[in-house]
Structure 1
Amino acid sequence: MTTRLRDETIDDHRGGGAKARPPVARKEPVTSTIHGVERTDDYAWLRADNWQQVMRDPTVLPPDIRAYLEAENAYTDVALADTVDLRERLFAEMRARIKEDDSSVPSPDGPYAYGVRYTHGDEHPQLVRTDRDGGNEQVLLDANALAEGKAYFHLGGTAHSPDHKLLAYAADEMGSEYYDIRIRDLTTGKDLDDFIPATTGAPVWSADGRTLFYVWVDENHRPAKVFRHEVGSQSEDVLVHADTNPAYFLGCGKTQSDRYILIESHDHETSESWILDANDPTGTPRLIADRLPAEKYSIEHSGDLFYILTNGGDAEDYRIVTAPVATPDRAHWKDLVPHRLGRLILDITAYKDFLVRLEREGGLPRIVVRHIASGEERPIEFDEEAYSLGMAGGLEFDTTTMRFSYSSMTTPARVYDYDMADRTRVLRKETEVPSGHDPADYVTRRVFATAPDGEEVPVSLLYRRDTPIDGTAPCLIYGYGAYGMTIPASFSTTRLSLVDRGFVYAIAHIRGGKDKGFHWYADGRREKKVNTFTDFIASARHLVDEGFAARDKVVGWGGSAGGLLIGAVANMAPDAFAGLIAEVPFVDTLDTMLDDTLPLTPPEWPEWGNPITSEADFRTIAAYSPYDNVGAHDYPAILALAGLTDPRVTYWEPAKWVAKLRATGTSGRLLLLKTNMDAGHGGAAGRFDRLHETALATAFALKVAGKA
């Protein structure tokens, strides 16, 4: 076998020996021409031809590629050997902030209350239920027992049958997000013979508890078909719905009322939904409204009406309409909560007598409870400068209790039950930090950076009250900026390890998210994608200019599409950062969007553009794609983290990127790649195991900022 490595020797210098030499990937140029542009990729060989099989069985990875990734891992271990003790301390303190014996607030459902519990030392949860009053606890499923002896294990979706006799649960044992579904008899505690492989991991029950619906994932990791499985049947599962357009992914769920099973087909800007009466599982799904370009909608139900959240009708920040159950098509949609520019409606949940919505205005979230009969509304708001709110639907429909969560960057998560009739709230749980945490020791603020085009970019800050804000503090700035996702200003125990060491922790709410409404998203995608990157750079420089950060101690951090952000700013403003951390980074953007066999490529053309059919899109992506724009720059130190079985950002993207950075960059600073050979996009699955990866990245940030 001919290896594709040269100079793989790693000299361990922990004892003062020779400096470690990084592996150098051999160049094997592959040339292609598209839209009249000739491109050469020296490292295309790192993409395994059998990548689909690798997702299901990592042992079939070609040996030469495995040798390269393992050599990179070995080099990273040596290069960061001086942080081993620090990483152990970081891991210990991060773990000490987690309550090892912990449980969720039970969710009542009929005669029972269901919840999740962790016991001391366990990596994975137990699913438990009690009588509704809290007695007679029963452990339904222990994920730790299921994970025993496995290098990777992640418990996916779980759903108990409406009659409380069966539990459907999904598990991924490769990190590749192929979830296998099994069914457990809750009387005997034994699994039935039923086995459903290769699903999205979200089982949905019919009303009679004898039929299970699920989404099957094809060989290219696309959620392509919805099937119906009859419990105990040896017959082949029945196809319920399929979407042959590879640009659309299918999902399956249920209304809060439990009356309707929902099937949704969507890409990043268009959706289409079907309903199926849960009491008639063998029936034919009924279309709500056919898909229209760039129009999305989602469905809830109460009484004789569907409640539909949609951006249709030029409602860019969304509106809520009603439609009769009998005639739910667009011709019968009637405004309930009209569109108001600047108020972005994010989500809705319908109960028997109440409709609850989560919205954001002025950059801050709030929950609004609406009495269906009277139309009277009451908001739930908080007073901090920056905070996070989330709705939890619960398991019941005919109830006056709505559950929500609240946290800020200084305040640990709190779970409240809110009585929608009495308008009273009860604190059910506050996340405990066993090692101790006093919110008064910390400051959270929101400041605004001015982007090059004059837009004001919100930046949420967290730092210790005794941290000097005089231009000497190191700073970690985090960003994402894609898909309309908003990074909440929520509490995190792991970031305290930086903040307690004098860091200012910042979240840049850059364009590409919906932090300031839909227009904030639209201004950070496709031909306007560069705004995402310049917003982040402007945010980092603003923190320096305003004395929140030292100019030579700013570290950027982003993951997935946020890793694309990190790769882009590395090329655009390498002088603005001492270091960059890119988790599972989407850095080979152009090649990926040109490869329509990859799982996420067709559904993401609306987000990034289609460079196959559009020369304009090709040139737009080519202008910022991190891998394509690596040059002879004085790059900051970079740590890239990857997962071998990652179906979202394939392992070869960061591998190619780091190889090219080494061959082209001029700084001589650390350029590191660490691939988890037993996991995918989310890294290690265990609650403590994943802390080792967080500790590694945190130690890197401390090292490059001179605080290790």
Structure 2
Amino acid sequence: MDARLPAVPAHARKISHVTTRHGHERDDPYHWLRAENWQEVMRDPGVLDPEIRAFLEQENAHAQAVMADTQGLQEALVTEMRGRIKEDDSSVPAPDGPFAYYVSYVEGAEHPRYCRSPRGGGAETVLVDGQALAQGKAFFRLAGVDHSPDHRLVAYGFDETGSEYYTLRLREADGGRELDDRIEATTGHVAWAADGASFLYVWNDDNHRPCKVFRHAVGTPAEADTLVYEEADPGFFVGVGETQSRDFLVISAHDHETAEVYLIDAHAPETPPRLVAAREPGHEYHVEHRGDRLLILTNADGAEDFKIVEAPLNAPERDNWRELVAHVPGRLILSMTPLRDHMVRLEREDGLPRIVVTHFGTGEDHAIAFDEEAYSLGLDPGYEFDTATVRFSYSSMTTPAQIFDYDLQTRERVLRKTQEVPSGHDPADYVTRRLLAPAADGETVPVSLLYRRDTPLNGSAPCLLYGYGSYGISVPASFATNRLSLVDRGFVYAIAHIRGGKDKGYRWYREGKRQAKANTFTDFVAAAEHLVAQGVTGRGAIVAQGGSAGGMLMGAVANMAPELFAGIVAEVPFVDVLNTMLDATLPLTPPEWPEWGNPIESAQDYETIAAYSPYDNVRNGPYPHILALAGLSDPRVTYWEPAKWIARLREMKTDDNLLLLHTNMDAGHAGAAGRFDRLKEVALVYAFALKVAGRV
């Protein structure tokens, strides 16, 4: 491939910006790319400093020029990926009392409609039409639609900048009349009181921290809302929800390793919140309700992979907890949902998920069995409590998603829907496998593979290797139609289930965070080396991909093992880790300290982060081809992180490989909001991968 650049990239001037911490002096010459008025830019991108805007726009023009020879390919990719989407699709209706609620799309629409119909069948009512609300807007995203328990009202949140400051509005379910109620700067979801006359919501401050819970009475101005809870610790975020029984509203305060839960009687929403268990560092718990008992999913008392306990509703203190489901090391309980007669839990063991059902009366357990070597499960508890039916989704990397209703008494599963692929898909044409890659310390790293059955695994196939490895998030081995566009062109698609996720239990997470963060990066390199050793691909034929904290992974492995990779795709990459963790004013910094460490207070944390922070470890030498994607109004990974990273790479790398930065000037962390607009971003990534792998 001719790697000569056909257009001039932006030149980032250098302005010395020296800081000293724990005796270490650092000069950050690209600090000026961080807009001083970044809070204003989140709400109104139009106020961005003109010099910074010019830099980003020139980089966009450069990326477009470099990729111009793939324009036809990108258009073809969008066409075929769109051809795999059922444009007039809808979800399986979820029953709730007299109605069933669902999401649907009309053909050609970018955004969904939220609908309901009578439970026994009847005319559809469109509650909120996202496509209509998005008309004329450069960006629009619905946070969701929450209907009131009496089915009279719906609350919906929307974001028009990508900054994740959601505005809440209310409308009547019948007739669609919009109420005057309007609440700004929220997280976009509500928790309704039982009578539908009020709800709780979370407000974001100017630093984008969800720190206050208010109660809003329907029909009153937002200025009159009652403050119910305020979180004083900037390291904790708050959220609201409801128990499955709908008898209680839930306020949760949490960071990445500690939780604190308060309950409010949904039938008496003006009563003060009641604390379940005071926060203790490292104690995570989740609360549900059944009858006169609380059910609590907890990691207390050394239950690293969690156990389930119960407590009297009127005396929920820790001293009164009684064990229901014991802790089993290596069996991670992900969630639990109590229904009238049964409890359903989703757990993971040996890297694979499973669903386990417990009958409250007999205590008998049974698991729902699945056959494939690698697969993904999702559990949807639905709206109802007095039911013996639970809904779950199943897919694998070759098998389109299937939605089942499962009878907890008869153990019968009923297939409600299979994901349609309009352009056609035969699972028999593809193979999914799971390999175990040996890490340097003796651990084995699961790697999920997808490839066409006729793809030769003789070391010649290019490979896209995806990784994340942070916050305990596990990347499922699920079906995704977009991947087929690479796989059908001879790629192997692989997911490295590296430490920092919870694929092999909570320990797998613990061993990939803070002082052990380097395991995340070395696990990814080990996965790549194993794919080469097994003949799945070849050295220098791998395109690595990751986003957000996975983008940090991309920056780290680009510094550590550039010779392994043909290319790096870093989407909204968290690459300026040290500077961000040293800036307590940024939206996510204080809550992130349990994940990465606090380099403000701890010299050890400073040195640990400084040793791997991608921006701080760019070196003179060769790098793979790199594509970085950013969002101007991104509150999670601010646009200047990838911008500074690319500027430093341009200054220091010694090769002519491609170095591209594309910033979506109308969106935030998740990129384009429309389901078809998003395909254009995927097509750019795939065209880049095909280009640097020599397949165009």
Structures share fold, TM-score greater than 0.5: yes
Q: CA RMSD in A?
A: 1.1
2:162 counterpart (153, 172, 175): 175
Q: Tell whether 2:506 aligns with 1:518.
A: yes
- For the residue of structure 2 that corresponds to 1:331, the secondary structure is helix
Deviation at 1:139, TM superposition (A): 1.0
Deviation at 1:552, TM superposition (A): 2.4
Counterpart for residue 66 of structure 1: 53
d(CA) in 2 for partners of 1:179, 1:514? 30
Q: Tell whether 2:584 aligns with 1:596.
A: yes
Matched letter for residue 248 of structure 1: F
Q: How does 1:216-255 map onto structure 2 within 5 Å?
A: 216-234=203-221, 236-255=224-243
Q: How does 1:381-396 map onto structure 2 within 5 Å?
A: 381-396=369-384
Counterpart for residue 644 of structure 1: 632
Q: How does 1:47-196 map onto structure 2 within 5 Å?
A: 47-196=34-183
d(CA) in 2 for partners of 1:17, 1:418? 57
Counterpart for residue 210 of structure 1: 197
The answer as to whether partners of 2:459 and 2:538 remain within 8 angstroms in 1 is: yes
Matched letter for residue 56 of structure 1: R
Deviation at 1:236, TM superposition (A): 1.0
Aligned length in residues: 694
- For the residue of structure 1 that corresponds to 2:301, the secondary structure is coil
d(CA) in 2 for partners of 1:624, 1:118? 44
Q: Tell whether 2:661 aligns with 1:673.
A: yes
Deviation at 1:18, TM superposition (A): 8.6
- For the residue of structure 2 that corresponds to 1:654, the secondary structure is helix
The answer as to whether partners of 1:324 and 1:332 remain within 8 angstroms in 2 is: yes
d(CA) in 1 for partners of 2:520, 2:544? 14
d(CA) in 2 for partners of 1:26, 1:129? 56
Q: Tell whether 2:302 aligns with 1:310.
A: no
Q: How does 1:452-491 map onto structure 2 within 5 Å?
A: 452-491=440-479
d(CA) in 2 for partners of 1:540, 1:706? 19
TM-aligned CA distance change 1:72 to 1:17, over 3 Å: closer
TM-score, with normalisation over the residues of structure 1? 0.97
d(CA) in 1 for partners of 2:102, 2:339? 21
1:272 counterpart (257, 260, 275): 260
1:218-267 CA-to-partner distances (Å, cap 9, x unmatched) read 00000000000000124610000011100000000000110000000000
Deviation at 1:212, TM superposition (A): 1.4
- For the residue of structure 2 that corresponds to 1:578, the secondary structure is strand
Counterpart for residue 375 of structure 1: 363
The answer as to whether partners of 1:157 and 1:203 remain within 8 angstroms in 2 is: no
Matched letter for residue 352 of structure 1: R
Q: Tell whether 2:331 aligns with 1:355.
A: no
Q: Tell whether 2:673 aligns with 1:688.
A: no
d(CA) in 2 for partners of 1:366, 1:164? 34
1:156-185 CA-to-partner distances (Å, cap 9, x unmatched) read 021111111100000011100001000001
1:559 counterpart (535, 542, 547): 547
d(CA) in 1 for partners of 2:265, 2:409? 29
Deviation at 1:188, TM superposition (A): 2.6
The answer as to whether partners of 1:305 and 1:324 remain within 8 angstroms in 2 is: yes
d(CA) in 1 for partners of 2:142, 2:511? 37
Matched letter for residue 348 of structure 2: R
Counterpart for residue 413 of structure 1: 401
The answer as to whether partners of 2:128 and 2:145 remain within 8 angstroms in 1 is: no
d(CA) in 1 for partners of 2:81, 2:568? 22
1:465-523 CA-to-partner distances (Å, cap 9, x unmatched) read 00001111000000000000100000000010000000000000000000001111111
TM-score, with normalisation over the residues of structure 2? 0.99
- For the residue of structure 2 that corresponds to 1:212, the secondary structure is strand
d(CA) in 2 for partners of 1:198, 1:573? 43
Q: Tell whether 2:20 aligns with 1:33.
A: yes
Q: How does 1:595-674 map onto structure 2 within 5 Å?
A: 595-674=583-662
Counterpart for residue 10 of structure 2: 23
Matched letter for residue 680 of structure 2: H
2:481 counterpart (481, 493, 500): 493
Deviation at 1:21, TM superposition (A): 2.0
1:128-157 CA-to-partner distances (Å, cap 9, x unmatched) read 111101211111111000000000000002
Matched letter for residue 527 of structure 1: Q
Deviation at 1:598, TM superposition (A): 0.5
d(CA) in 2 for partners of 1:306, 1:146? 40
Deviation at 1:284, TM superposition (A): 0.3
Deviation at 1:17, TM superposition (A): 12
Matched letter for residue 306 of structure 2: Y
The answer as to whether partners of 2:100 and 2:119 remain within 8 angstroms in 1 is: yes
d(CA) in 1 for partners of 2:124, 2:6? 58
Deviation at 1:58, TM superposition (A): 0.5
Counterpart for residue 282 of structure 2: 294
d(CA) in 2 for partners of 1:27, 1:239? 46
Matched letter for residue 620 of structure 1: T
Deviation at 1:454, TM superposition (A): 1.4
Q: Tell whether 2:302 aligns with 1:332.
A: no
- For the residue of structure 1 that corresponds to 2:616, the secondary structure is coil
1:442 counterpart (430, 448, 462): 430
d(CA) in 2 for partners of 1:355, 1:57? 46
Q: How does 1:498-509 map onto structure 2 within 5 Å?
A: 498-509=486-497
d(CA) in 1 for partners of 2:562, 2:401? 36
Q: Which runs of 4+ in 1 moved over 4 A?
A: none
1:259 counterpart (222, 228, 247): 247
**Bigger mean CA deviation after superposition, 181-190 or 519-528:** 181-190
Counterpart for residue 199 of structure 1: 186
Matched letter for residue 610 of structure 2: A
Counterpart for residue 6 of structure 1: none
Matched letter for residue 563 of structure 2: D
Deviation at 1:668, TM superposition (A): 1.4
Counterpart for residue 3 of structure 1: none
d(CA) in 2 for partners of 1:233, 1:328? 35
The answer as to whether partners of 1:571 and 1:633 remain within 8 angstroms in 2 is: no
Gap runs ≥5 in structure 2 = none
The answer as to whether partners of 2:4 and 2:656 remain within 8 angstroms in 1 is: no
d(CA) in 1 for partners of 2:369, 2:201? 37
1:360-413 CA-to-partner distances (Å, cap 9, x unmatched) read 111110000111111111101211110000100111110011000000000011
d(CA) in 2 for partners of 1:654, 1:454? 34
Matched letter for residue 564 of structure 2: A
TM-aligned CA distance change 1:18 to 1:52, over 3 Å: closer
d(CA) in 2 for partners of 1:667, 1:546? 29
- Percent of aligned pairs with the same residue? 63
